[in-house]
Amino acid sequence: MLDTTPLTTAVDRFADRLRAAPQSRLQRGAAARALGLARELSVRAQRLESPGTEPRIMPDAGVFVVADQLTVAAGDLAEALRTAPSEAELDEAVRLVEKAVSEAAL
């Protein structure tokens, strides 16, 4: 079984920072960056779970919800990776989270 702790830990930290960020910072791009990451993680999970099916795109539910959307998307990807292990996919997902954190400047 693939250990997805690095992914869930990185996302939990990022989500906590988003929840603590002021609205102005979220509106200046941190929330948009996090939503982009949540969408990417969601698409990756869907591709693992249902290959050949067109992935659904996560909606923009607002700056105050994006941390939860990110957490859910990461959880879905972590579960998909447990059932269809891919070390490369896990490593890439962790890199995407780290990049999003640095770009969000939180």
Taking the domains of the chain in order of start, what are their residue ranges? Answer: 5-104
At 4, is the pLDDT very low, low, confident or very high (cuts 50, 70, 90)? very high
Alpha-carbon Rg of the chain, whole angstroms?
A: 13
> SS3 for 98?
helix
> Taking the C-alpha atoms of 43, 91, 7 and 80 in order, what is their torsion angle to the nearest 10 degrees?
50
Q: How far is CA 90 from CA 3, 31, 63, 100, in A?
A: 9, 23, 26, 15
Quote the CA–CA distance of 16 and 19 in Å, as a whole number.
Answer: 5
Q: Encode pLDDT of 30-84 as tens digits.
A: 999 999 999 999 999 999 999 999 999 999 999 999 999 999 999 999 999 998 8
Asked if 69 and 38 count as a contact pair (C-beta separation under 8 A), the reply is: yes
Give the tokens for residue 57: 């795109």
Asked if 98 and 42 count as a contact pair (C-beta separation under 8 A), the reply is: no
What does the pLDDT read at residue 105? 84
What does the pLDDT read at residue 97? 97
Q: Encode pLDDT of 15-41 as tens digits.
A: 999 999 999 999 999 999 999 999 999
